[in-house]
A and B are shown apart, each in its own frame.
Chain A
């Protein structure tokens, strides 16, 4: 059902199937590409510390440009450059399960298996960092 083979109890019960939604994500490049949506567990497949933890199988999004920028800047202060752009994206409904943290503006999305990025995610805007 999901793109990744998820650990037990993942996604959490509070995750809900997404409606059509506009979200933001930190991008490496300036165009829509599958490579921009790789979760941590696949980015670091040899790092066994997180291979059983649900959050590592999710892709991060943000509710607003400012939320994304704040996180980018926070990680930059820790000497890591996460990307070069912030993308504003429109996600088609029913492409995964979503949790939203309204305090931090952070969303986790666990993709369904069938999802094709180029047809179900639309790039609305891209802003260089």
Chain B
């Protein structure tokens, strides 16, 4: 355990900060972007719960360009925190019930890296952004994702044209798949194909 008390700030520099954009919110707010009164952006990651309703979070300033790279998957969240744009990293304690920041620490990068718990392969999902740019795919994606659970066996024939279209769209959207994978997917039966797509 790294002692961090000596890095505790006597004031709260984030008094007027606001959550600007959610990047990962599944049951709990894991990753989001905040903005302060002068427009500086911060990337905020949930490290752990220290006790009931007390979050420990990592916070780094992030440039617009780097944030764009993160959202496009060009860099991982781990990279963003492993090679931050400043050499000081904030660590905050946040009361989940009230949303209030109870403590703020400012850690040198080398100290922070011993605490850095961001998963190695953690990429921000850009799917929603991709979908916004492709309205046709946006109509098909929910259908494609839910068909295996919801398609009665007897309707396979009835839905064949729709599923064929879904298959073509999927392969089109994932044009970066290897030739072998594309061929394998194209040769599967429709139920096998749908299962393979959902499990990818």
Binding site for B on A (CB under 8 A): 12-14, 16, 19-23, 26, 40, 44, 46-50, 53-56, 60, 63-64, 71, 75, 78-80, 82, 98-106
Q: Does B2 contact A (CB under 8 A)?
A: no
Q: Are B149 and A21 in contact (CB under 8 A)?
A: yes
Return A19 CB to nearest CB of chain B, in Å.
7
With contacts A46-B98, A49-B19, A63-B145 known, is A80 near B28, CB below 8 A?
Answer: yes
Return A90 CB to nearest CB of chain B, in Å.
9
With contacts A21-B146, A55-B22 known, is A102 near B141, CB below 8 A?
Answer: yes
A100 / chain B contacts, CB cutoff of 8 Å: 141-142, 145-146
Q: Are B127 and A101 in contact (CB under 8 A)?
A: yes
Q: Are B98 and A20 in contact (CB under 8 A)?
A: no
The B interface, classified by DSSP as helix, strand, loop or mixed, is mixed
CA distance A99 to B144 in the complex (A): 12
Q: Are A46 and B19 in contact (CB under 8 A)?
A: no
Which stretch, B45-53, B63-71, B82-90, touches the partner chain A?
B45-53
Q: Mark B59-78, 1 if CB is under 8 A from A, else 0.
A: 00000000000000000000
CA distance A107 to B162 in the complex (A): 22
With contacts A20-B150, A63-B149 known, is A53 near B47, CB below 8 A?
Answer: no
Closest-by-CB residue of B relative to A16 is: B142
Q: Are B47 and A78 in contact (CB under 8 A)?
A: yes
Report 22 cross-chain contacts, Cβ distance below 8 Å, ordered by A residue: A12-B128, A20-B150, A22-B149, A26-B27, A40-B25, A40-B27, A49-B18, A49-B19, A53-B22, A56-B29, A60-B26, A60-B27, A64-B198, A71-B26, A75-B28, A78-B49, A79-B48, A99-B142, A100-B142, A101-B127, A102-B127, A103-B127
Q: Does B181 contact A (CB under 8 A)?
A: no
Return A127 CB to nearest CB of chain B, in Å.
16
B125 / chain A contacts, CB cutoff of 8 Å: 101, 103-104
**Which 9 pairs from chain A and chain B are nearest by CB?**
A47-B99, A49-B99, A55-B25, A79-B49, A22-B149, A102-B145, A78-B48, A80-B49, A100-B145
Q: Does B136 contact A (CB under 8 A)?
A: no
B98 / chain A contacts, CB cutoff of 8 Å: 46-47
Q: Mark B16-57, 1 if CB is under 8 A from A, else 0.
A: 001100100111110000000000000000111110000000
A16 / chain B contacts, CB cutoff of 8 Å: 139, 142
CA distance A108 to B150 in the complex (A): 18
